[in-house]
Amino acid sequence: MKPETSTHPERGPDEPSEGQRVQVESIEDVTKHRSDPRYELVAHAYVTVPSLPTRVYTLQEISRGGMFLAFGDRSTTRLELEQNGIERGTAVEIKFAISAGEERHSFDVRANIVRITRQGLALEFLTHNPPQLAALRELFERAGANTAAADDTGTPDR
């Protein structure tokens, strides 16, 4: 995997200095250092950030503690967040739906932004292991694997 360079002017205390190379880890590498397993899950997620219109992101992975959402338009979305003062700690609402066979499940969870990257948002659920994700956990357990594909069939119930 090719390393990325971080050149963001508003770095946190544990982010690299200008021009320093950052090795991006694969999901498998990151999971080794986490207390909760991560599951690959591809679905559209509708994210509401205070003072901004709802935007569509791509849910890429999820765990009991949080999720990673990829930007649909990386530069515009990140720029929009920066210009509107959206930063770490901001609470957001996420709605997404998945279908597994004949079953369709809609989810509505709240989370805090813990990291904004070029690729998207890392989010931490306000409640660890939210009860509203019970149906999703059951689907993963039935699949018996750390990865599952979601058949995104449209917008979640709003």
For the cut 70, the answer to whether the pLDDT of residue 30 exceeds it is: no
**What's the pLDDT tens digit per position in 109-128?**
999 999 999 899 999 999 88
Q: Can you give the pLDDT at residue 103?
A: 82
**Was domain 36-158 assigned CATH 3.30.70.141?**
no
User: Could you give the CA distance from residue 101 to residue 28 in angstroms, rounded to a whole number?
Assistant: 27
Residue 66's beta-bridge partner residues?
A: 124
For the cut 70, the answer to whether the pLDDT of residue 43 exceeds it is: yes
Sequence-ordered list of residues with C-beta below 8 angstroms from that of 32, at least 6 positions apart, any chain: none
Q: If you average pLDDT over each of 11-15, 103-107, 152-156, which comes out highest? A: 103-107
User: Could you give the CA distance from residue 56 to residue 47 in angstroms, rounded to a whole number?
Assistant: 6
For the cut 60, the answer to whether the pLDDT of residue 131 exceeds it is: yes
Q: Which of the residue ranges 36-40, 53-57, 71-75 would you say has the lowest mean pLDDT?
A: 71-75
Q: Can you give the pLDDT at residue 76?
A: 73
Using a 10 angstrom Cβ sphere, with 0-12 exposed, 13-18 middle and 19 or more buried, the burial of residue 6 is middle
Q: Phi and psi at residue 60, in whole multiples of 5°?
A: -110, -35
- Contact 148/139 with Cβ under 8 angstroms? yes
User: Could you give the CA distance from residue 114 to residue 88 in angstroms, rounded to a whole number?
Assistant: 5
H-only helix segments in 24-127: 27-31, 74-83
Question: What DSSP element (H or E) covers 137?
Answer: helix 134-143
**What's the pLDDT tens digit per position in 64-97?**
899 999 998 766 788 889 899 999 999 999 999 9
User: Could you give the CA distance from residue 125 to residue 6 in angstroms, rounded to a whole number?
Assistant: 26
Q: Can you give the pLDDT at residue 23?
A: 30
Q: Can you give the pLDDT at residue 132?
A: 86
For residue 12 the two structure tokens come to 């946190």
Q: Can you give the pLDDT at residue 58?
A: 94
